[in-house]
Amino acid sequence: MRIGTVMIVAAAMAAASPAGAQDISQFGWLAGAWATEVDGRWAEEWWTPPRGGILIGAGITGKGATADFFEHMRIMADGAGRITFYGSPKGAPAVAFALVRSGAGEAVFENPAHDYPQRVHYRREKEILVVSVSMIDGSKAESWRYKRR
């Protein structure tokens, strides 16, 4: 009887925690400080290592001494346990993008209902972090190639 009680408690605990929370460690490759500069325009992103079921990120872009864009980001399980990227550009309410594909050094998040972007794509190419945003069909694509700072 005691083994049955332990199994029931363990099953209840597993059901109570978001399923995706266990999987967040797969994004450890994203952690660190990243920067790029092309033709006087610069961009930087910082990501914490995965801990407690979440990665916290921040980004800033600009030209010269002037920043013209910033964003607060996070990757974590949503209420249903799905891994989700949340972006909050310029302090706006966060927009959710569900994970649709991931692998070694790659993560693709999408939200077809969002105006722009609808896809957020992160991938590592050795020591380069490539970040792309686009519409679902790949149009209106923008991309940044970051080096570790």
Indicate if the pLDDT at residue 2 is higher than 60.
no
Indicate if the pLDDT at residue 145 is higher than 50.
yes
From residue 8, give the alpha-carbon distance in Å to each of 11, 44, 57, 131. Answer: 5, 47, 37, 43
Spell out the domain ranges in the chain: 20-148
What integer is the mean pLDDT of 12-33?
A: 67
H/E stretch holding 120 reads strand 119-125
- State the Cα–Cα distance between residues 147 and 149, nearest whole angstrom: 6
- Which CATH superfamily does the domain covering 20-148 fall into? Calycin beta-barrel core domain (2.40.128.20)
**What is the value of pTM for the model shown?**
0.84
